[in-house]
Structure 1
Amino acid sequence: MQPATPARPESEGRGAASEAPGPGPAPLPAPAPAPGPVPAPAPGRVLVVDDDPTVSEVVAGYLTGAGYEVARAADGPAALECFARRRPDLVVLDLMLPGMDGFEVCRRMRAHGRVPVIMLTARGDEDDRILGLETGADDYVTKPFSPRELVLRVDSVLRRATADPVPAGRAVLLEGAGLVLDPVARSATRQGRALALTLREFDLLAFLLRHPGRVFTREELMSEVWGWDFGDLSTVTVHVRRLRGKVEADPARPELIRTVWGVGYRLDLPTGTADPADPADPTAPADPAAPTAPTSPAGPAGSSWVSGAHGSPGAPS
């Protein structure tokens, strides 16, 4: 009996090519590393101009902490050079600079382009504030001031400067008493004559035109137009007076923006929309809603104060 022949493996007898394993599949590429968080862009570029290094450093520190990209200059020529080179979105400008004062710096900046300007001043004279607004400043802060409040003002000015000027459902043009405001172009005319309004003057007039015949306190105007819940109320007084000088036929006897004694201000249109229960005296020599002397803003709780070399924390100048 023949012994059984052992079974041959299936692989035996195949060609050499079959015996050697072929190349395996190409390895998968390593997964790309997950992208890290994209840094948020700075909310804006701010130029701080002040000859007091302490004030400049404190203001720049608070603005940097709020996410702004900050450049600094200590005098007028350096400020103009930095302005031309960096094109900031907003300028915080001290009024009392050596050599070339803040008024002249603001005028020259305005000649080269539209940029919001917040003036820092240690002067309490209202004429200086009005002159600052006349040269094109959008707002001012009187030393001593809270740096936190200044940051809030910078936020507010830039937000309004870059926001969509046309609220949903609103007409594009605002008209009344010969005034025509175009919120898209941010242009204004009175009896066909162009009005040179600052950013804040335009916002104030537009707000009043949207609510003719209604009386607003200075606190309400500061909240609605400036977007602040605190601050120096004389800011509103100065802007109203400055605006009257541009829209009234006789600013000493205003017929459009009237003072309501002990309350605030009201825009009267010739359509009879004003409330006769709100007595206004257009011949009033002084604004009864205004304080007898400028006061320092209260500022948010926990704020420190910046006075600079030209002022003292004890009392505003």
Structure 2
Amino acid sequence: MMTKYHILIVEDEPAIAEVLCAYCTAAGYSIKHFSSGQTVLAYIKDNNVDLVLLDLMLPDIDGVTLCRETRLFSQVPIIMVTAKNEEIDRLIGLEIGADDYICKPFSPREVIARIKVILRRAGNLNDKIIRQSGFELNMQKFNVTLHNQPLDLTPIEFKILERFLANINRVFSRQEIMDSVYDGFEEISDRNIDTHIKNIRKKITAVAADMNPIVSVYGVGYKMEC
């Protein structure tokens, strides 16, 4: 029996909400629609939600705040939907934990295609735990510890560390890292990766001062040695 995924649609524009609800239903998903963000967090806490389509501009609570607060207790996949298309808005959405970003106007078929990709990816991550050289990274719970001490990583930092731990001694270029954690947002500078690596290193050494496992490879990128 095929799993019927439950999609939460948070959209205040009636015409857009109607289209999204219709296409999600036609694709075989069960849906719940809210036109504001007031009860979204409580609903996610109390219900089995598989993915959230989240409008950035809502009448009461903005989508960025909702995404950030959701990430305090849940790693449910989130696709942000918005009329804004500036690079800074994309960066904010992705940095706080959104899994994808769609700008209005959009093709409803493209939205469904992206939902399928993200749900497939989320399904592949279930129960995946990586243990390596004192690190324990749990993909389902979206947390990581070093010597049993938690590392407080941002969602992007978590994805970068997961890539390294799953591929010890493999050298990744900055572009490869960007492609794997930003889902093809080409406008993002590779210097963002340098900043994330610097922050990950600081958080590792705060727990284990003698550890510096992420190594720079001159002219290429980075690798992890454990």
Superposed pair shares fold, TM > 0.5: yes
Q: By how many angstroms is 1:64 displaced?
A: 1.9
d(CA) in 1 for partners of 2:36, 2:52? 13
* Number of positions where the alignment pairs a residue of Structure 1 with one of Structure 2: 215
1:112-191 matches, within 5 Å, as 113-163=74-124, 165=126, 172-175=130-133, 180-183=136-139, 186-189=142-145
Q: Secondary structure at the match of 1:268?
A: strand
Q: By how many angstroms is 1:160 displaced?
A: 2.8
Pairwise CA RMSD? 4.1
Calculate the TM-score normalised by the size of structure 2.
0.69
Letter in 1 for 2:223: D
Q: By how many angstroms is 1:107 displaced?
A: 3.5
Calculate the TM-score normalised by the size of structure 1.
0.52
Counterpart of 1:214?
Answer: 171
d(CA) in 2 for partners of 1:46, 1:161? 14
Q: Which runs of 5+ in 1 are unaligned?
A: 1-38, 272-317
Query: 2:28 matched to 1:67?
Result: yes
Q: Which runs of 5+ in 2 are unaligned?
A: 204-212
Query: 2:202 matched to 1:249?
Result: yes
Q: Identical aligned pairs, as a percentage?
A: 31
Q: Does the CA contact (< 8 Å) of 1:208 and 1:266 recur in 2? A: no
Rg comparison, structure with higher value: 1
Q: Does the CA contact (< 8 Å) of 1:174 and 1:206 recur in 2? A: no
Q: By how many angstroms is 1:79 displaced?
A: 3.4
Q: Does the CA contact (< 8 Å) of 1:166 and 1:172 recur in 2? A: no
Counterpart of 2:221?
Answer: 266
Q: Secondary structure at the match of 1:76?
A: coil
Q: By how many angstroms is 1:101 displaced?
A: 0.8
Cα–Cα, structure 1 residues 244 and 55, in superposed 2: closer, same or farther, change >3 Å? farther
d(CA) in 2 for partners of 1:179, 1:188? 7
Query: 2:9 matched to 1:51?
Result: no
Higher strand share: 2
Query: 2:186 matched to 1:233?
Result: yes
Letter in 2 for 1:214: V
Cα–Cα, structure 1 residues 118 and 164, in superposed 2: closer, same or farther, change >3 Å? closer
Cα–Cα, structure 1 residues 55 and 225, in superposed 2: closer, same or farther, change >3 Å? same
Q: Which has the higher contact order (CA 8 A, sep 6+)?
A: 1
1:256-295 matches, within 5 Å, as 256=214, 266-269=221-224
d(CA) in 2 for partners of 1:225, 1:216? 13
Q: Does the CA contact (< 8 Å) of 1:51 and 1:98 recur in 2? A: yes
- Greater shift in the superposed pair: 56-65 or 103-112: 103-112
Cα–Cα, structure 1 residues 100 and 237, in superposed 2: closer, same or farther, change >3 Å? farther
Higher helix share: 2
Query: 2:152 matched to 1:195?
Result: yes
Q: By how many angstroms is 1:119 displaced?
A: 1.2
Q: By how many angstroms is 1:89 displaced?
A: 1.6
